[in-house]
Chains A and B, each alone.
Chain A
Amino acid sequence: MKVVVTSTGECLDSPIDPRFGRAASFVLVDTVSGAITTVVDNRDGVEAAQGAGVQAAEAVSRLGAECLVTGHCGPKAFRTLQAAGIAVYTGASGTVADALAQLAAGTLERAGAPDVAGHWA
């Protein structure tokens, strides 16, 4: 399964970035191999005045991810991910490896709605 995790860095032991739209980067992981296959720098999203969540969701969709693991997800990002058929898991913490373990163990919440407001949260 292809999973995207919001991250501060490009390794499995990088701490995750709990934000989605303003995350520093996205790492695409193949859960079969457990390896990171792609890293996307989200600098544009960090700097964007608006629509960062939309842009991030598009980026995740282009990566072909089936699910997203992050700390929080705002309203526009959520709508976009939902439209793209990507499952959203919030509440992750620790490193990228930790987040993947939390996903596998089923301790993360499958989000049915955004859990933060938008606007530069």
Chain B
Amino acid sequence: MSAPAGGVLPLAAAQADAALVRELVVISGKGGTGKTSVVASFAVLAGNAVLADCDVDAADLHLVVEPEVLERHVFTAGHRAVVRAPDCAACGECLEWCRFDALVTPDGSAVPEVDPIACEGCGVCAALCPLHAIDLEPRVCGEWFVSATRCGPMVHARLGIAAENSGKLVSVVRAEARRAAARSGRGLVLIDGPPGIGCPVIAAVTGATAVLLVTEPSVSGEHDVERALALARHFGLPVAVAVNRWDLCPEGAERIEAHARAHGAEIAGRIRYDPTVTAAQLAARSTVELGGGAADDIRAVWNHVAARWLRGGGHGGGGSAGPGGAGTGHAFESVSTITASPLCVAVR
């Protein structure tokens, strides 16, 4: 039994979530800091986790863990407008209403066409067309998969090109990963998070047990980790930071760690620059499977995070899934301070 295209679990599955499944989300703010490489190593070290690749826009984790796809599901989100040309009188009103420049009149044609990439699916043209000549159709945006890997079950997805990247597909991947964990008696989901701080990241972190920020000691890494940290704190989540390739700029690493501590985050460790990381990627392996200095550092980061949040029950700073899998106490504590709880379907 799988989730409907909307991605919401049937009740029995939601109740299964009530079993304690912890979620560790690894994000970075800036892309390219090594988060996917770290998650791949964590998957091997954890030994008994479910993997969730929530970087649905540019998923890479599968390149290292080599999933065997067991299930494939179509993902629909939002809508798009389509003009029924024979019924259109070319009055031109819809062109005036559209806020997204999605209605265009190709050369020589009076009848407008909808540009599917620009179309938001807001439905204004369909609702207001005096001749009802515009239809609003559900939009197929991508696919998601349940797979088996050498590290355990994996849920991942592929968002279609130019598709809306709302949190919806990310949420589907997370929900299915939690379900796979509960069903197979695993207590941990490792989430490879998306870059940035927008919709997809919000969907990836909300209600998680803890967040690990993997960053790099460059000015851009410093700048972006501050924003990612602010986001995690905005959602009241426990956060740890690990500076990757720290030895390329030790002063930068120090500054990042000082900032992290000052803003309520812990330091999970530091990972040194090591060519083995790329060598591992080229060999479709995780760094810890090849060994070396960075592998040792990654293992130390894992041990810190696992001991702190991912074992035992209800230690200080830890979270537990509430009934119905409805998020952790931490996420809830800040509900009253969140004035905007944005999750959108059509992010334009």
> Which residues of A approach B to under 8 Å, CB–CB?
8, 15, 17-19, 22, 24, 46-50, 71-72, 75-76, 113-121
Q: Is A119 in contact with B326, judged by CB distance below 8 angstroms?
A: no
A47 to B326 alpha-carbon distance, docked (Å): 17
Report whether B323 and A71 are in contact in the complex, using a CB–CB cutoff of 8 Å.
Answer: yes
* Bound Cα distance from A75 to B207, whole angstroms: 14
A100 CA to B6 CA, complexed, in Å? 30
What residues of B have a CB within 8 angstroms of the CB of A120 in the complex?
Answer: 7-8, 167-168, 171, 175, 203, 206, 343
How far apart are the CA atoms of A18 and B12 in the complex, in Å?
Answer: 11
Q: Which 10 A-B pairs have the closest CB atoms?
A: A49-B345, A47-B6, A121-B326, A120-B171, A116-B326, A119-B206, A118-B341, A18-B324, A117-B331, A49-B168
Across-interface contacts of B338 in A (CB, < 8 A): 75, 117
The answer to whether B202 touches A119, judged by C-beta atoms less than 8 angstroms apart, is: yes
Q: Per-residue CB proximity of B296-330 to A under 8 Å, as 1/0?
A: 00000000000000000000000000111111000
Q: A17-B11, A47-B8, A113-B336 are in contact. Are A118 and B343 (CB under 8 A)?
A: yes
Contacts of B344 in A (CB 8 A): 49-50
Q: Which DSSP category, helix, strand, loop or mixed, fits chain A's interface?
A: loop
Measured between beta carbons, the chain B residues less than 8 angstroms from A24 are 11
Q: Bound state CA distance, A118 and B207, in angstroms?
A: 9
Interchain pairs with CB closer than 8 A, number: 85
Q: How many residues of B contact A (CB 8 A)?
A: 34
Once A47-B4, A75-B335, A116-B332 are accepted as A-B contacts, the answer to whether A121 and B343 lie under 8 Å apart by CB is: no
A19 to chain B, nearest CB (A): 6
Contact A19 B326 (CB under 8 A): yes
B189 at the interface (CB under 8 A from A): no
Q: How far is the CB of B177 from chain A (nearest CB, A)?
A: 13
